[in-house]
Amino acid sequence: MKYSQLTFDDPNNKEIPAHLRRDQIISKLKENFDFESTHLRSSTSSTEGVLSKCHGYEAPNQAKDLGIYPYFREIEAMDGAHVTIGGREVITVSTNNYLDLTHNPRVIEAAKQALEKFGTGCTGSRFLNGTLSLHKQLESDLSHFLKREDTIVMSTGYQANQGTIACLLGRKDIAFSDRENHASIYEGCAVAAGKTVRYRHNDMDHLEYCLKKYPGVEGKMIITDSVFSMSGDIANLPGIVKLARDYKATVLVDEAHGLGVIGEGGRGVTSYYHLEKEVDIYVGTFSKSMGSIGGFVSAHPRVTEYIRHKASAFIFTAALPPASVAGVNAALNLMIEEPERIQRLHDNTTYMKKGLFDMKFQINNNPIPIIPIKIGDEALTLYFNQLLFDNGVFAGVAVSPVVPPFNAMIRTSYTSAHTQADMDHVLNTFKTIGTELGIIPQ
Ligand SMILES: Cc1ncc(COP(=O)(O)O)c(C=O)c1O
């Protein structure tokens, strides 16, 4: 059965209440899409050995057969707010290009010039032979912008987190990590020699309870995303900093979704709360507001010098290529010169949040341009997402294990490039589908 066969014969038929129609749809979907047993539980394959899990993994195929598979859509063209998929242009609300810098002519020109001057790659790792004058310039500009003493540019934000945490967290040290932190933080903690304690999301009482349990441990590091990538929540940085002071812990903040979005001139949550001096390690990425790829870590020069010589994820990987470095530097300068981009992003965020809130969708209430829309059931979420796509809206989905089971959501994010017409189309589409499926009242 295809999902299109599940659509209602007559969505205006008021005789069947929307929530009952939604229940019918869920049960029909579940006849053909057993997410729980094929994705969440271990394999039922008859094959033995390491690969048995692959042979028994049916969730993607089931979703494809139903026509509700949302991943790896092939994008043929894009600008700031639109993508072309299957020859059809749709509005994207699944973008990290918050400030519309990915396609900016100045950014592209800077990348082109670096490409022509230095070629397509750095021929090696930063450590041995891949450090260009461009990397040093970007490091210096970032340090200056963030008012931090030193910065290391790495190949991705993932590696910046993973490499930094893995090399700093020694055998006798403990990381206290928010349960909603990004996968790269989990990974850094997992490969580090030290122990990791996960505290409940943004729960300062629980963080304190965890810190108290290890009075004899001298090396403590509290690690948090500044803006959580799925929920869009802002970290309680004042609470974290206070506990770090009380329990003598180091603070590492991942500003992946804070940089370019919030704080003075887009300097992140650290700046929003005026805690620049209290945050010991500032990690960031170039794959969101900076419109490209790459990551960085900023800290005291004694710390960066250690990371430079010890972090495997930095030393044993190729350097960020010239075009990306130059593009990021141009993007950083544009962000500084054109603060109206951040203002537009905020205005768009406010408009979308108000629109969705007025329709009674359950959404977060803060100035972050990530708006998750909670649906719950996995199959229904994929179905909702497919209907959005059919109606010209390309959104993201988050299902387990990215979020806890049965907390599936449509994940939307916005950019300064969205026009009023784009946003109105998105809101109208959410309203129609949300009402049809009984997720919001009529
Ligand atoms: C919170 C957070 N940290 C780190 C990263 C990794 O960044 P990058 O894309 O540069 O590897 C991401 C990207 O998804 C993220 O959302």
Q: Is the CB of 184 under 6 A from ligand 1?
A: yes
Q: Is the CB of 33 under 6 A from ligand 1?
A: no
For 185-240, how does the pLDDT look when each residue is reduced to its tens digit (9 = 90+)? 999 999 999 999 999 999 999 999 999 999 999 999 999 999 999 999 999 999 99
The pair of structure tokens assigned to 99 is 């400030």
Where residue 400 falls among pLDDT bands split at 50, 70, 90?
A: confident
Minimum-distance ligand 1 atom for the alpha carbon of 225: 1
Q: Is 267 exposed, middle or buried (0-12, 13-18, 19+ CB in 10 A)?
A: buried
Ligand 1 centroid vs 94 CA: distance in angstroms? Answer: 14
* pLDDT score at 59: 83
Q: Bigger pLDDT: 406 or 370?
A: 370
With a cut of 70, say whether residue 373 has pLDDT above it. Answer: yes
With a cut of 90, say whether residue 427 has pLDDT above it. Answer: yes
Minimum-distance ligand 1 atom for the alpha carbon of 294: 10
- CA angle 270–272–278, rounded 5-degree value: 35
List the catalytic residue out of 135, 220, 288, 353: 288
Ligand 1 centroid vs 82 CA: distance in angstroms? Answer: 22
Q: Bigger pLDDT: 158 or 402?
A: 158
Ligand 1 centroid vs 147 CA: distance in angstroms? Answer: 22
Q: Is the CB of 225 under 6 A from ligand 1?
A: yes
Where residue 5 falls among pLDDT bands split at 50, 70, 90?
A: low
Minimum-distance ligand 1 atom for the alpha carbon of 227: 1
What is the percent of the chain where pLDDT is above 70?
93
Q: Is the CB of 349 under 6 A from ligand 1?
A: no
With a cut of 60, say whether residue 8 has pLDDT above it. Answer: no
Where residue 304 falls among pLDDT bands split at 50, 70, 90?
A: very high
* pLDDT score at 26: 78
Ligand 1 centroid vs 371 CA: distance in angstroms? Answer: 17
* pLDDT score at 401: 82
Q: How far apart are CA 97 and CA 83, in angstroms?
A: 13
With a cut of 90, say whether residue 433 has pLDDT above it. Answer: yes
Q: Is the CB of 227 under 6 A from ligand 1?
A: no
- For residues 433 and 387, the answer to whether their CB atoms sit within 8 Å is yes
The full set of domain ranges for the chain reads 66-98+341-436, 105-337
Query: Superfamily assignment of 66-98+341-436 in CATH?
Result: Aspartate Aminotransferase, domain 1 (3.90.1150.10)
* pLDDT score at 37: 63
Q: Is the CB of 247 under 6 A from ligand 1?
A: no
Task: Summarize the confidence of residues 91-100 as an average pLDDT.
Answer: 98
Q: How far apart are CA 141 and CA 436, in angstroms?
A: 51
φ, ψ for residue 264, nearest 5 deg? -60, 120
Q: Is the CB of 285 under 6 A from ligand 1?
A: yes
Where residue 25 falls among pLDDT bands split at 50, 70, 90?
A: confident
For 316-349, how does the pLDDT look when each residue is reduced to its tens digit (9 = 90+)? 999 999 999 999 999 999 999 999 999 999 999 9
β-strands 174-178, 220-225: how paired?
A: parallel
For residue 323, give every residue at least 6 positions away whose Cβ sits within 8 Å of its Cβ, in sequence order, or none: 111, 112, 114, 115, 120
* pLDDT score at 7: 56
Task: Summarize the confidence of residues 364-381 as an average pLDDT.
Answer: 94
With a cut of 90, say whether residue 356 has pLDDT above it. Answer: yes
With a cut of 80, say whether residue 435 has pLDDT above it. Answer: yes
* pLDDT score at 432: 95
Minimum-distance ligand 1 atom for the alpha carbon of 286: 10
For residue 162, give every residue at least 6 positions away whose Cβ sits within 8 Å of its Cβ, in sequence order, or none: 184, 185, 187, 188, 191, 313
Ligand 1 centroid vs 239 CA: distance in angstroms? Answer: 23
Q: Is the CB of 157 under 6 A from ligand 1?
A: yes
The tokens 């350097």 sit on which residue? 319
For 278-299, how does the pLDDT look when each residue is reduced to its tens digit (9 = 90+)? 999 999 999 999 999 999 999 9
pLDDT mean across residues, the chain: 93
Q: How far apart are CA 332 and CA 142, in angstroms?
A: 8
Ligand 1 centroid vs 80 CA: distance in angstroms? Answer: 19
The pair of structure tokens assigned to 40 is 């969440």
14 is catalytic: no
Q: Is the CB of 95 under 6 A from ligand 1?
A: no
* pLDDT score at 42: 60
DSSP 407-429: -EEEEEE--TT--HHHHHHHHHH
* pLDDT score at 28: 78
288 is catalytic: yes
Instruction: Look at ligand 1, atom 16, and give the residue with the nearest C-alpha.
Output: 229
* pLDDT score at 52: 86
Best residue among 177, 229, 328, 403 to mutate for probing ligand 1, ranked by most atoms within 8 Å of CB:
229
Could you confirm whether domain 105-337 is CATH 3.40.640.10? yes
Ligand 1 centroid vs 96 CA: distance in angstroms? Answer: 10
List the catalytic residue out of 94, 226, 229, 289: 229
